């Protein structure tokens, strides 16, 4: 491996000479950085090289050379740092700073290892990704000056100009500035590449702290709260920045006090230790009491005078262990389908990110201010842009939009919760508790719901699972927010909430879609599984409550109307029509039109809940439950409620009588590797499992056919008979 | 050339075929140690006695016995697969048209007043 082979030597020579001519630390001036005579021209040349060689030919050669020449850490950062605070009127310095930024943005631009890649891309991408981590560390860790603040300063003159008077150059500078912050927010240690020991320097926490300390958050807040007035085209980039800051962060942790966070840390540690201890106990239970060569051998008597031999002392403990070991000793495993690795892209949000305490504090401040002032203008503006399908939007921006909305809605709910808890004892800020939900009203209107529904359907149809994941989270959060609003002391809020619920639950297509998503789960990853089960759980529970309160609830169903219309059309098209029927026909059509728009029928919750109780949705929840050791209490509760509903409210426990499901429940309770007995959900689950088993044995006694059927997913035609022991009485149309 | 056209001088190549791996398919599932065995056990009327199920109050130990029964049955039918894998294979076989018809038939046979066509 020699350097000369990776990049054309001539290119390298040109680029190196430009970097050298840019300047360097002087020997007589305390090692301060001194600009070269033609620094500005050099920077422009570098920019030209990046543009006309790299971009045009679709190579990364120049970027690679610049990384090797350490341009960012050695030159650009010192140049920006040396721009004196009071040197505002120093025109040359300001222009050099802008030229630096113009080179920095393409150098820090996120590289994706997807899509079309040339040989050169494959050769250079890992190196440049590593180099970008070093760039970020250099930028955030510069100790003589705050680089981010300097960059904000570059943009200030353009921001100060009113929107109508901004030239395209001003707009360009603004864009450059924001893209730079976006790039800084995106860069992280790439998981597949070796660590360079800079992980904490470029972590999310470090980014957030730098953004707060160096006024980037202030800039973002200004832009967000003036969105639509002073700022227009910047919304998408800002969304990108915010998305990359909040993705994977748990809003709950932000509002914990230091004390709570500490105790949370202790409980987390305690929980982790408890899991480990229970694992230890389980292993100890089956540990051999003698040395490994003690050589115990026994046989298991089976049907038809057959024997199976097993070795090992632990088999003496009982049949269970012997049978378990018999199974374990088999060599062949069913080949598992490997899931595509979709998680390592920068647009993924399913990975939890932990923030340090100071970073949490700072992000919370930002979120607080954002909710109070920026939320409505920002998201309204974005929504309109999405509706218009504005050119500046990329596909990922839709996903980012819904994820961000979901995240901030959750943050708002948690903020309210904490405030309620805080205020109650002293009753000083009583007026504060009664704040209305209007500060998040921008996403609780009909337009947003229509958009959300449409996008959800589109991503479902196109099998864009990560998009659908974001939509589902958004929808869930909307539902939860509305639920909180219903309990708000303000009458206005209650009224609005009631209206919203009415609208959400009015469309039968929404109901069907939720069911369809739940039933359609297959290998889309845990984040998706979590989101779709949560949505189903929340939706079903709220719908149940709402339909109880509104007994005469009406829903609009489209399908039936269409069918009816078709029938009428067919009738109309029948030959032998007498000419007088023409008038009648058109009249009929009119009626059909009316029917199609307003076909309503009374909502029947039981019918809807029955749609949830199918083998496929049971399978989805079973796949969630298989992760039981890693699930949170809330997730375990969700699965428990679902199974409980299926088995005891819908009377379809037959769906659970499948050996793998029964084995899973048994394993959860009795191990090996079961739930910890002291786990908060253990009792509920064990009681549930016992009830199901009891019911199952009763069924087996009544209907021995079940012994065979236990092997399979049930067929619809025999389901009813297995449960009730008789054929379903269908209402004859006579 | 005559030899060549008759293929006399050409050596007959013997390619050793790999022994086919037995599969857990419909045929195997419907063979005597498969579902017929389960059905025989189920219809003998002594199922719970055979498994020594203890009944009420002993749900968990009974379930363990039931699972053991299935495990041994599966091990006998298709020793290659682990219990959990074998269950998945069988479940998949159950989706075929023929199996569905047969399953329906088995259930119908248990119904009161069933008359074989």
With 70 as the cut, is the pLDDT of residue A607 above it? yes
For chain A, list residues whose CB is within 8 angstroms of any CB belonging to chain B: 302-303, 306, 308, 319-320, 323, 326-328, 330, 332-334, 658-660, 662-663, 666, 669-670, 689-690, 693-694, 697, 700-701, 703-713, 715, 717-718, 721-722
What whole-number distance in Å separates Cα of residue A585 and Cα of residue A595? Answer: 15
Residue A587's pLDDT is what?
Answer: 55
Rounded to whole angstroms, the Cα distance separating A325 from A312 reads 9
**Greatest CA separation for chain A:** 108
CA dihedral A515, A520, A521, A522 (to 10 degrees): 170
Picking from A509, A515, A544, the residue whose alpha carbon sits closest to that of residue A532 is: A515
pLDDT score of A506: 86
Q: Are A561 and A596 in contact (CB under 8 A)?
A: yes
B43, B67, B95: residue with CB nearest A704:
B43
Q: What is the pLDDT of residues A647-675, one digit of tens each?
A: 988 888 889 999 999 999 999 998 788 88
**Burial, A557: exposed, middle or buried (Cβ in 10 Å; 0-12, 13-18, 19+)?**
middle
**A243-252, A375-384, A706-715: least confident range:** A706-715
| Res. A280: pLDDT tops 70 | yes
Separation CA A676–CA A597 (nearest Å): 54
- Per-residue HEC secondary structure of B73-112 comes to HHHHHCCCCCHHHHHHHHHHHCCCHHHHHHHHHHHHHHCC
Average pLDDT score over residue span A351-369: 90
Identify the helix (H) or strand (E) that includes residue A302: strand A297-302
A546-A548-A550 Cα angle (round to 5): 70
What's the pLDDT at A7? Answer: 81
The answer to whether A230 touches A162, Cβ cutoff 8 Å, is yes
B114/A contact by beta carbon, under 8 A = no
Percentage above 90 pLDDT, chain A: 38
Can you list the alpha helix ranges (DSSP code H) found in A487-525?
Answer: 491-506, 508-519
**Inter-chain contact B55–A697, Cβ cutoff 8 Å?**
yes
- Which of A708, A723, A724 has the highest number of chain B CBs within 10 A, making it the mutation to test binding with B? A708
Of A146, A718, A66, A567, which is closest to residue B100 (Cα–Cα)?
Answer: A718
Q: Do A705 and B70 touch (CB under 8 A)?
A: no
For B91, the closest chain A residue by CA position comes to A712
Kindly report the number of other CB atoms within 10 A of residue A142's CB atom: 17
Is 50 exceeded by the pLDDT of residue A577? Answer: no
Task: For A490-519, write each residue's pLDDT tens digit.
Answer: 888 888 888 888 888 888 889 999 999 999
Q: In DSSP terms, which residues pair with A306 in a beta bridge?
A: A302
Is A637's pLDDT higher than 90?
A: yes
* pLDDT tens-digit map of A309-318: 999 888 888 7
Instruction: Tell me how far CA of residue A101 lies from CA of A79, A678, B12, B87, in angstroms.
Output: 11, 57, 75, 61
Q: What is the pLDDT of residue A523?
A: 83
Q: Using CA atoms in the order A683, A686, A691, A697, what is the torsion angle rounded to 10 degrees?
A: -160
Task: Assign A715 a pLDDT band (cuts: 50, 70, 90).
Answer: confident
pLDDT at A201 over 90: no
Are A663 and B81 within 8 A, CB to CB? no
Phi, psi of A301 (to 5 degrees): -80, 135
pLDDT at A541: 92
Between CA B93 and CA B81 the distance in angstroms is 15
C-alpha A339: how far from its chain's center?
Answer: 18
Angle at A89 between CA A86 and CA A95, to 5 degrees: 105
Q: Which region, left, alpha or beta, applies to residue A537 given φ > 0 means left and ψ of -120 to 50 means alpha?
A: alpha
Q: Which helix (H) or strand (E) holds A306?
A: strand A306-311
Q: How many CB pairs under 8 A join A and B?
A: 123
- CB atoms B42 and A713 under 8 Å: no
Cβ neighbourhood burial of A357 (10 Å; 0-12, 13-18, 19+): middle
Q: What's the pLDDT score for residue A581?
A: 46
Task: Tell me the C-alpha distance between A607 and A461, whole Å.
Answer: 25
DSSP per residue, A353-414? B---HHHHHHHHHHHHHIIIIIHHHHHHHHHHHHHHT-TT--HHHHHHHHHHHHHHHHHHHH
Secondary structure letter of residue A603 according to DSSP: -
Neighbours of A252 (CB within 10 A): 15
Residue A75: name the closest of A22, A112, A127 by CA: A22
Contacts of A705 in chain B (CB under 8 A): 42, 106-107, 109-110
How large is the ipTM? 0.88
Q: How many CA atoms lie within 13 A of A522 on its CB side?
A: 7
**What pLDDT is stored for residue A638 in this prediction?**
95
Q: Which residue has the higher pLDDT, A734 or A132?
A: A132
Cα dihedral A604, A609, A614, A620, rounded to 10, equals 150
> What is the mean pLDDT of the segment spanning A727-731?
61
The whole-angstrom distance between A660's CA and the closest CA on chain B is: 7
CA A86 to chain centre: 44
Q: Is B46 on the interface with A (CB under 8 A)?
A: no
CB B81 within 8 A of CB B38: no
SS3 A430: helix
A708 to B71: CB separation less than 8 angstroms, yes or no: no
pLDDT digits (tens, 9 = 90+) for A455-481: 999 999 998 888 999 999 999 999 999
- Distance from B19 to chain A by nearest Cα, in Å? 16
The pLDDT, as a whole number, for residue A217 is: 94
- A601 versus A359: the higher-pLDDT residue is A359
Provide the pLDDT confidence category of residue A599 given band limits of 50, 70 and 90: low
Res A84 pLDDT > 70: yes
CA separation for the pair A618, A627 (Å, rounded) = 15
Name the B residues in 59-88 with CB < 8 Å from any A CB: 59-60, 62-64, 66-68, 70-72, 75-76, 79-85, 87-88
Is A238 in contact with A223 (CB distance < 8 Å)? Answer: yes
Averaged confidence pLDDT in chain A: 85
pLDDT of A566 reads 59
pTM for this entry: 0.87
A349 vs A247: CA distance, rounded Å: 5
Can you tell me the distance from the alpha carbon of A327 to that of A613, in angstroms, rounded to the nearest whole number?
33
Q: In the prediction, which pLDDT does B6 show?
A: 65
Give the integer Cα–Cα distance in Å for A352 and A82. 38
Sign of CA dihedral A690, A694, A696, A700: positive
Tokens of residue B99, six digits: 């199996």
Q: Which chain B residues have a beta carbon less than 8 Å from that of A337? A: none
Tokens of A480: 């939860």
Buried b (16+ CB within 10 A) or exposed e, A81-120: bbbeeeeeeeeebbebbbbbbbbbbbbbbbbeeeeeeeeb
Q: What is the residue-wise DSSP string for A470-495?
A: HHHHHHHHHHHHHHHHHT-S-HHHHH
CB–CB of A134/A189 below 8 Å? no
d(CA A16, CA A436): 61
Place of tokens 């570059």: A154
The pLDDT value given to residue A593? 52
pLDDT of chain B, 117 residues: tens digit per residue: 666 666 666 677 888 889 888 888 888 989 888 899 888 888 887 777 787 878 788 889 999 999 999 999 999 999 999 999 999 999 999 888 888 888 888 888 877 766 655
pLDDT bracket for residue A211 (50, 70, 90) = very high
| pLDDT-derived band at A560, boundaries 50, 70, 90 | very low
Q: Which residues in chain B are closer than 8 Å to A670, comparing Cβ atoms?
A: 60, 64
pLDDT at position A733 is 45
């Amino acid at each position: 491996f020699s350097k000369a082979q990776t990049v054309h030597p001539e290119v390298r020579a040109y680029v190196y000479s430009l970097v050298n001519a840019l300047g360097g630390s002087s020997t007589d001036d305390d090692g301060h950085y001194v600009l070269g005579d033609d620094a500005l021209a050099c920077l422009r040349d570098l920019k030209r090289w990046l543009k006309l060689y790299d971009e045009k030919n679709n190579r990364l050669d120049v970027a690679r050379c610049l990384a090797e020449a350490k341009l960012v850490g050695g030159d650009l950062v010192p140049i920006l740092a040396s721009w004196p605070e009071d040197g505002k009127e120093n025109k040359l310095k300001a222009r050099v700073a802008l030229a630096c930024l113009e080179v920095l943005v393409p150098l820090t631009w996120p590289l994706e290892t997807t899509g079309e890649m040339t040989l050169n891309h494959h050769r250079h991408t890992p190196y440049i990704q590593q180099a970008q981590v070093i760039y970020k560390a250099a930028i955030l860790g510069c100790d003589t000056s705050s680089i981010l603040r300097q960059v904000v300063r570059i943009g200030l003159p353009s921001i100060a100009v009113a929107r109508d008077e901004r030239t395209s150059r001003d707009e360009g500078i603004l864009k450059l500035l924001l893209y730079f912050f976006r790039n800084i927010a995106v860069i992280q240690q790439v998981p597949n590449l070796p660590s360079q020991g800079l992980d904490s320097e470029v972590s999310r926490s470090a980014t957030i702290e730098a953004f707060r300390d160096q006024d980037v958050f202030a800039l973002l807040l200004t832009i967000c709260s003036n969105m639509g007035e002073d700022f227009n085209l910047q919304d998408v980039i800002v969304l990108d920045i915010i998305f990359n800051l909040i993705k994977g962060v748990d809003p709950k942790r932000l509002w914990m006090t230091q004390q709570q966070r500490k105790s949370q840390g202790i409980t987390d540690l305690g929980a982790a230790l408890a899991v480990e201890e229970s694992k230890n106990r389980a292993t100890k239970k089956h540990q051999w009491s003698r040395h490994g060569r003690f050589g115990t051998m026994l046989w298991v008597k089976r049907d038809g005078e057959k024997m199976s031999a097993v070795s090992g002392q632990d088999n003496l403990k009982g049949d269970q262990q012997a049978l378990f070991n018999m199974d374990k000793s088999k060599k062949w495993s069913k080949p598992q389908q490997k899931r595509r690795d979709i998680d390592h892209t920068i647009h993924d949000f399913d990975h939890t990110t932990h923030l340090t305490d100071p970073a949490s504090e700072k992000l919370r401040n930002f979120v607080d201010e954002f909710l109070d002032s920026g939320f409505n203008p920002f998201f309204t503006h974005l929504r309109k842009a999405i509706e218009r399908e504005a050119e500046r939007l990329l596909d990922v921006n839709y996903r980012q939009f819904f994820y961000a909305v979901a995240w901030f809605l959750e943050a708002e709910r948690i903020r309210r919760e904490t405030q309620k808890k805080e205020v109650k004892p002293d009753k000083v800020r009583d007026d504060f508790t009664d704040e209305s939900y209007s500060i998040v009203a921008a996403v609780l209107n009909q337009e947003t719901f229509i958009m959300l529904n449409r996008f959800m359907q589109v991503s479902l149809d196109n099998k864009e699972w990560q998009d659908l994941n974001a939509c589902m989270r958004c929808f869930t959060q909307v539902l939860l927010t509305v639920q909180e609003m219903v309990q708000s002391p303000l009458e206005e809020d209650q009224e609005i909430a009631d209206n919203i619920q009415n609208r959400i639950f009015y469309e039968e297509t929404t109901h069907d879609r939720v069911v369809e998503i739940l039933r359609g789960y297959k290998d889309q990853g845990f984040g998706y599984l979590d989101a779709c089960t949560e949505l189903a759980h929340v939706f079903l529970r709220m719908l149940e409550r709402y339909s109880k309160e509104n007994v005469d609830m009406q829903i609009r169903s489209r399908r039936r109307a269409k069918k009816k219309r078709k029938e009428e059309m067919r009738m109309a098209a029948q030959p032998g029509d007498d000419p007088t029927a023409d008038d009648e026909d058109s009249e009929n059509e009119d009626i059909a039109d009316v029917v199609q728009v307003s076909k309503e029928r009374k909502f029947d919750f039981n019918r809807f809940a029955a749609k949830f109780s199918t083998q496929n949705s049971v399978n989805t929840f079973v796949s969630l439950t298989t992760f039981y050791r890693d699930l949170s209490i809330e997730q375990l509760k969700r699965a428990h409620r679902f199974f409980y509903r299926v088995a005891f409210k819908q009377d379809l426990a037959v769906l659970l009588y499948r050996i793998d499901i029964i084995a899973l429940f048994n394993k959860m309770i009795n191990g090996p590797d079961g739930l910890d007995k002291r786990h908060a959900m253990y009792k509920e689950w064990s009681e549930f499992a016992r009830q199901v088993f009891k019911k199952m044995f009763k069924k087996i006694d009544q209907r021995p056919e079940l012994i065979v059927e236990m092997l399979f997913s049930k067929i619809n035609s025999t389901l009813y008979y297995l449960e009730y022991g008789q054929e379903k009485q269908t209402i004859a149309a006579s | 050339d005559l030899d060549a056209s008759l293929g006399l001088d050409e050596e007959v190549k013997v390619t050793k075929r790999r022994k086919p791996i037995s599969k857990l398919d419909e045929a195997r599932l419907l063979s005597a140690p498969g579902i017929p065995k389960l059905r025989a056990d189920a219809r003998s009327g002594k199922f719970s006695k055979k498994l020594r199920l203890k009944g009420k109050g002993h749900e968990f130990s009974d379930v363990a016995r039931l699972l053991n029964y299935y495990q041994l049955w599966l091990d006998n039918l298709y020793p290659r697969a682990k219990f959990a894998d074998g269950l998945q294979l069988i479940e998949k076989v159950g989706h075929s048209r023929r199996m569905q018809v047969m399953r329906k038939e088995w259930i119908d046979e248990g119904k009161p007043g069933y008359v074989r066509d």
